[in-house]
Amino acid sequence: MSWESLQLQPQLIEALRSHDIASPTPVQAETIPLLLAGHDLSARSQTGSGKTLAYMLPALEKADPGSDTVQVMVLAPTQELAMQIFRVAETYGEALGVKAQQLIGGASMQRQVEKLREHPQLVVGTPGRIHELVKAGKLKLHAIRLVIIDEADQVFNLGSTVEVESLLKGMLRDRQIAFFSATRPQAMADVEARWMREPRQVDVERQTGGRVDHYYLVCDKRDKVDTARRLVRLLKPASALLFINETDEIANYEAKLKYEGFSVETLYGDADKQRRAATLARFRDGRIQILLATDVAARGLDIADLPLVVHLDPALDADHYVHRSGRTGRMGKSGTVVSIVTRNQLFIMDKFRKQLGLDLREKTMYRGKLWTPGEEKGRADEGDRREAAGRRGAEGGRPSVERPSERRADGAPARVADGGAGIAARRGSAGATGQPLRGAAGQSGGRTAGPGGAGAARETGRKPAAPAAKPAKSKKQLEQERKNKGAPKWLKAKRDGAPQ
């Protein structure tokens, strides 16, 4: 499908192609026509599948750039996600002359009020700050025709249901509503039933393209940071996003990872807006290798080509696992997700595997690779043997050869090596001068290579003959040796009858 088939304005299509977005993704192809037709919509699609453009393009199409009223409102659960959406609205709204404004908590409210006096047609913000501006009379709702809630499941899970419903009450009854999310919990379904009119359901399960591998590693709790260190060293990602559950542990983990030589920064809910924005900017630019975060970073962070997500603590539930893991493998790219769990947490992996239908497999690290438990030592040792055999073949010169004319006494072929000692052995007992030849072994060990010697034995394959046995001594000789043992020479000579 092409952008032209979706009946978008040529200015938008040109802007899309200037950003190397050649064609719509499945969720965009399904939702854009429905939104342009004015239907209420609940769309579920995995993270990184292009949901932002799926609602932003029709929203910009519907906005009237000649009006001085706010006509489109987009709500997001976190400041970071709201700012990302705002940047998209700015980029593509410029092509149509539509002005956008961000309204998020943590920023100056007075400055936002001043920006509203510039009459934007589209606003993006968090439910709390927008509700605050409406109560203060600084933001009017009467002209809003389209309300979009991104990551709607999280908006309602974070306790913003009352604020969202208060905003919906202040709008006209015929306004259009659209929810976008990766999951659809019951709280979200309840709001749909109360406020939407015959909503259309769009469910795009999987984005075609890249592959995301899901693994887990098992270790003791005290070894989790060291396991994460080994994993990052093994996979060598350009950047990695590590999730933990408790903010109290974040400083401890940060210190340990920095001690191991990594560039690490943190992202969590209690940090101020400016610090969080600066940290994300450095991570996107590649100036930070590891970003250690709580679930505040799991929602909507669009980090291009993030190759690795690590759960230092397992996600709280399947929905959180989806949103955390969705930071990698975005827009058809490939990625890896690894959970580090204790034996007592293995049941969580079983639960996620069943609920999400994932190929979630246990792995272990051994000799610089990820292995399925039980196969690592055997296959690694086999590889070592092959490597050693290859080295011996490369270092040992030409391989041994079999000569048909050389047979052992039993008729079996004799294998000899082309080299110093073997050549001397094959030449036999005489050289060109008729003198006995000594092989390399004979020179060092005092053995000749002539007939009957060690060289002939090596050539024919027979062992050299054992020396003849000495005759047994008589009882009288043994007794005489016993008496002579330790005696002085003159006494030994006297006993033996020698002249003194």
Give me the number of domains the chain comprises: 2
Out of 204, 229, 258, a domain closes at: 204
Q: Does residue 181 sit in the same domain as residue 225?
A: no
Residue 236 confidence (pLDDT) above 80:
yes
CATH number at residue 91: 3.40.50.300
Of 273, 274, 288, 182, the residue nearest 241 (C-alpha)? 288
Q: At what angle do helices 475-484 and 489-496 cross, to 10 degrees?
A: 160
Q: Does residue 151 sit in the same domain as residue 260?
A: no
Top mean-pLDDT range of 83-97, 256-270, 462-476: 83-97
Out of 377, 408, 430, a domain closes at: 377
Q: Does residue 98 sit in the same domain as residue 227?
A: no
Of 258, 241, 243, 214, the residue nearest 304 (C-alpha)? 241
Q: Does residue 193 sit in the same domain as residue 221?
A: no
Q: Is 86 part of any domain?
A: yes
pLDDT of amino acid 218:
95
The model's confidence at residue 491, banded by pLDDT at 50, 70 and 90, is low
Q: Does residue 222 sit in the same domain as residue 97?
A: no
pLDDT of amino acid 181:
87
Of 82, 186, 80, 72, the residue nearest 123 (C-alpha)? 72
Of 301, 73, 42, 24, the residue nearest 175 (C-alpha)? 73
Mean pLDDT of 33-62: 89
pLDDT of amino acid 476:
73
Q: At what angle do helices 26-36 and 51-62 cross, to 10 degrees?
A: 20
The model's confidence at residue 462, banded by pLDDT at 50, 70 and 90, is low
Q: Mind listing the pLDDT tens digit for each residue in 13-44?
A: 999 988 888 888 888 999 999 999 999 999 98
pLDDT of amino acid 256:
92
Q: Is 433 part of any domain?
A: no
Q: Is 22 part of any domain?
A: yes
Q: Is 61 part of any domain?
A: yes
Q: What are phi and psi of 319, to 5 degrees?
A: -65, -40
For the chain, percent of residues with pLDDT exceeding 90: 40
Three-state DSSP at 263 gives coil
User: Across the chain, what does the average pLDDT equal?
Assistant: 79
Q: Mind listing the pLDDT tens digit for each residue in 470-479?
A: 666 677 777 7
Of 158, 159, 155, 211, the residue nearest 178 (C-alpha)? 155
H-helix or E-strand containing 290?
strand 290-293
Domain extent for 367:
212-377
Q: Mind listing the pLDDT tens digit for each residue in 113-152?
A: 999 999 999 999 999 999 999 999 999 999 999 999 998 8
Q: Does residue 300 sit in the same domain as residue 180?
A: no
pTM of this prediction exceeds 0.75: no
Q: Does residue 102 sit in the same domain as residue 218?
A: no
Mean pLDDT of 178-199: 88
Residue 499 confidence (pLDDT) above 80:
no
Q: What are phi and psi of 84, to 5 degrees?
A: -65, -45
The model's confidence at residue 231, banded by pLDDT at 50, 70 and 90, is very high
Q: Does residue 250 sit in the same domain as residue 287?
A: yes
What contacts 74, CB < 8 A, 6 or more positions away? 55, 56, 59, 82, 85, 89, 122, 123, 124, 125, 148, 149, 150
Out of 377, 412, 439, a domain closes at: 377
What is the C-alpha to C-alpha distance for residues 268 and 403, in angstroms, rounded to an integer? Answer: 76
Q: Does residue 184 sit in the same domain as residue 315?
A: no
The model's confidence at residue 284, banded by pLDDT at 50, 70 and 90, is confident
Q: Is 465 part of any domain?
A: no
Q: What angle do CA 185, 186, 188 make, to 5 degrees?
A: 70
Q: What are phi and psi of 289, to 5 degrees?
A: -85, -40
pLDDT of amino acid 379:
60
Q: Does residue 176 sit in the same domain as residue 243?
A: no
Q: Is 494 part of any domain?
A: no
The dihedral built from the CA positions of residue 79, 80, 82 and 87, taken in this order, carries a sign that is positive
Q: Is 383 part of any domain?
A: no
Q: Mind listing the pLDDT tens digit for each residue in 200-216?
A: 999 886 443 458 899 99
pLDDT of amino acid 208:
39
pLDDT of amino acid 88:
93
Of 301 and 104, more confident = 104
Q: Is 26 part of any domain?
A: yes
Q: Does residue 318 sit in the same domain as residue 243?
A: yes
- Helix ranges (H only) for 98-195 are 109-116, 127-135, 152-157, 161-169, 186-195
Q: Does residue 44 sit in the same domain as residue 189?
A: yes
